[in-house]
Amino acid sequence: MKLILIALTCLLVAACAVTKPGPEILTSAENAIQAAEVAGGDEFAPVEMRFAREKLASAQKGMEKQKYKVAVYLLEEAEINAELAIEKARTAKVRRLVNEQRKSNTELQANLRETFGDEFK
């Protein structure tokens, strides 16, 4: 009976142990941050970029301390922050283009009014 209890306890402890995640999860977060940098995240989403880098650094420390569950969570957060930075950068760039186009249209309308007077509306 004691042998069975010891065996069950060992199995339970082994089942609860968290295994070390593969290096691909770390690489994925690093790649997301690099993609955000290329997309202009540092310029258009500096807060999200800082969060992503901080989460990545914390996750790396967690991996060193074998806190794998927390490290995985932090890596996922880092990747999400990097993706948010990418989208904010894309949005800002599109907004800039729209504003430039709006300004160009206003100038064109002014030129047409000068040329054709009130007939142009």
15 located within any domain: no
Q: How confident is the model at residue 3 (pLDDT cuts 50, 70, 90)?
A: low
Instruction: Give me the CATH number covering residue 46.
Output: 1.20.1270.390
> Any idea which residue has 């991996």 for tokens?
63
- pLDDT (tens digit, 9 = 90+) per residue, 7-60? 555 455 544 556 888 888 899 999 999 999 999 999 999 999 999 999 999 999
Instruction: Indicate the number of domains in the chain.
Output: 1
Q: Could you list the residue range(s) of the whole structural domain that residue 80 is in?
A: 22-119
- Is the distance from CB of 68 to CB of 108 less than 8 angstroms? no
5 located within any domain: no
In this prediction the pTM is 0.75
8 located within any domain: no
